[in-house]
Chains A and B, each alone.
Chain A
Amino acid sequence: EVQVVESGGGLVRPGGSLRLSCVASGFIFRNYTMHWVRLAPGKGLEWVSYISNTGSARYYAASVKGRFTISRDNAKNSLFLQMNSLRDEDTAVYYCARGWFCGATSCSMDDSFDVWGQGTSLTVST
């Protein structure tokens, strides 16, 4: 079964740090780009970050740039999100989502956001 499972959420004080993890199974992880997306209470879905299948390209939403770092370990089928300088407004459920399939020479954009995890909850509060 194709799936991704997030973990690492919790309660953190403003200014604190946390690292989220996402473990993939059922597909060849190294062939796919990956995303983090969040859903804050009472708000809509917000794209947070992207990483290419090799890890060479990374993009961030303006709201987290400079504070969050996305990374991956293809040998362990794992995706990470290091979150520093956390703010109240970072409180959300964080989802990892599968992105594009990338072959030897190109990527197919059809597969984007077709697989989501159950999410891991982050609360930033005093």
Chain B
Amino acid sequence: VVMTQSPLSLPVTLGQPASISCTSSQSLVYSGGDTYLNWFQLRPGQSPRRLIYKVSNRDSGVPDRFSGSGSGTDFTLNISRVEAEDVGVYYCMQGSHWPPWTFGQGTKVEIK
């Protein structure tokens, strides 16, 4: 399954919203009805951190300004109000059709 993100670069103004799109080459609905689409944040110098699992479930400790949505083949990560600490690269990843588990190319979020 090929995961395609857009945009690949996203300059944003502090306090403004941001949105990242992720499209899969086939539906990510798994046989049990769940959709295994995760979002990860990779801050400079840090390890990847899972933000969202199964499309829209926020991980513990993730600020509520992050939200995930979508279904089938089209998914979105939204940041309601970008803060300086949100700078980094964001990846979607599918876990419905494996192996392999596949990531999107990454979207670099930077402050204007």
Residue ranges of A at the interface with B (Cβ–Cβ < 8 Å): 35, 37, 39, 44-47, 50, 59-62, 95, 97, 109-110, 112-114, 116-119
Residues of B within 8 A of A109 (CB): 30, 34, 36, 95
Say whether, besides A109-B34, A109-B95, A114 and B59 are in contact (CB < 8 Å). yes
Q: Is B54 in contact with chain A by the CB < 8 A criterion?
A: yes
Residues of A within 8 A of B99 (CB): 47, 50, 59-61
Q: Which of B53, B101, B106 contacts A114 (CB under 8 A)?
A: B53
Residues of A within 8 A of B101 (CB): 35, 47, 50, 112-113
**Cα-based distance from A10 to B53 in the complex (angstroms):** 33
Say whether, besides A44-B106, A45-B91, A114-B59, A95 and B48 are in contact (CB < 8 Å). yes
Determine whether the beta carbon of B47 is less than 8 Å from that of A117: yes
Q: Which of A37, A39, A113, A117 contacts B38 (CB under 8 A)?
A: A113
Say whether, besides A112-B95, A113-B50, A47 and B100 are in contact (CB < 8 Å). yes
Closest beta carbon of chain B to A91's beta carbon, Å:
18
Determine whether the beta carbon of A112 is less than 8 Å from that of B91: no
Number of interface residues of B (CB under 8 A): 26
Determine whether the beta carbon of B102 is less than 8 Å from that of A95: no
Determine whether the beta carbon of A44 is less than 8 Å from that of B91: yes
Residues of B within 8 A of A44 (CB): 89, 91, 103-106
Q: Chain B: interface secondary structure?
A: loop
Q: Can you sample 12 A-B contacts with CB below 8 Å?
A: A39-B42, A44-B104, A45-B48, A45-B103, A46-B103, A47-B100, A47-B103, A60-B99, A113-B40, A114-B50, A114-B59, A116-B48
A-contact bits for B15-40, CB 8 A (1 contact / 0 none): 00000000000000010001010101
Residues of A within 8 A of B30 (CB): 109
